[in-house]
Amino acid sequence: MKLLFYISIFFLISNCSFNLVDDHHGIHYLDKKEKKIIVQESNVNDIINIFGEPSTKSSFDNDVWIYIERKISNTHFFGRRKLIVNNVMVLEIDDKGVLAKKDFYNIDDMKDIKFDDQRSETLQKRNFIYNFLSSMRQRINDPLGVRKKKRQGQ
């Protein structure tokens, strides 16, 4: 009986992994690759060769391309997860296909963004980038949409 107990404990422990698992989504090493493109010099082909297709595209006066990098790791064996890397790069491309503007936001920049608690007319006038970053913040805080479901059920 004791032998069976020790064998079952051995199999349980041997199947556990002591390596921490990292989930990496988006463009790897976005912060390093971002330095390879230059405003008013790089064109669409250069951007696609370096980064590939963007995570999100939008058309206004200029084309807006958004690239995302996100890395989450287990902090210890009990399944707690921690956001390690959260980079967003926003590129505006003019009608000639040349990079007109480049904005790069890392995890520290995201913490500095102030969000309005009250709804007003100015909320409707927000630009595309602000709305996109707001939705990313919401997905980071509630990736499974659990809070949204709870609010709808109340």
pLDDT band with cut points at 50, 70 and 90 for residue 115:
low
Domain assignment present for 8: no
DSSP letters, 7-69, are: HHHHHHHHT---SPPEEEEESTTHHHHGGG--TTT-BHHHHHHHH-S-SEEEESSSEEEEEEE
Give the range among 66-75, 97-106, 120-129, 130-139 with minimum mean pLDDT.
Answer: 120-129
Domain assignment present for 95: yes
Given a cut of 70, whether residue 75 has pLDDT beyond it is no
Q: What residues have CB less than 8 Å from 140, skipping those under 6 apart? A: 83, 86
pLDDT at 122: 53
Domain assignment present for 1: no
Q: For residue 121, give the H/E element and its range.
A: helix 121-124
Domain assignment present for 121: yes
Domain assignment present for 43: yes
The reported pTM is: 0.60
When divided into structural domains, the chain yields a total of 1
Domain assignment present for 10: no
Q: Domain residues for 134?
A: 17-147
Given a cut of 70, whether residue 121 has pLDDT beyond it is no
Say which residue, 18 or 4, is predicted with more confidence: 4
Q: What does the alpha-carbon distance between residue 66 and residue 22 come to, in Å, rounded to a whole number?
A: 23
